[in-house]
Amino acid sequence: QQQVKQSPQSLIVQKGGISIINCAYENTAFDYFPWYQQFPGKGPALLIAIRPDVSEKKEGRFTISFNKSAKQFSLHIMDSQPGDSATYFCAAPGSARQLTFGSGTQLTVLP
């Protein structure tokens, strides 16, 4: 069964800094790796996703870097803002084609 290891568990960054969250997966039968963002009291919402025919995908200040050989992918948030403070989840598809999520990273961006 697919396992996704996410780190760090929590992250504190100054405004304007770079936030980096890492994930590693074991196996996947389907190449699609999303990141979800969750604000308090809300459900997770899709932030950005990558299909690893490319090694990097950028949307605004958010970038996914993907290393297929290492089975690792990461989320970079450039110029982090207090409004980015949230819990971030990575996910990977398992053999049953259902998403397996990481344990989440609570990001706090200080003003």
Q: Kindly tell me which residue out of 25, 100, 107, 109 binds other proteins, with binding defined by CB under 8 A.
A: 100
53-82 residues near other proteins, rule: CB under 8 A: none
Contacts of 6 (CB under 8 A, 6+ apart): 21, 22, 23, 89, 90, 102, 103, 104, 105
- Please tell me whether residue 43 adopts helix, strand or coil conformation: coil
Q: Give me the 6-25 binding string for other proteins, x by CB under 8 A, dash otherwise.
A: x-------------------
C-beta of 16: minimal distance to other proteins in Å? 28
| DSSP 8-state class, residue 82 | G
Distance between CA atoms of residues 111 and 13, nearest Å: 9
What does the binding site for other proteins look like in residue numbers (CB under 8 A)? 4, 6, 30, 32, 34, 36, 41-46, 49, 51, 89, 91, 93, 96-104
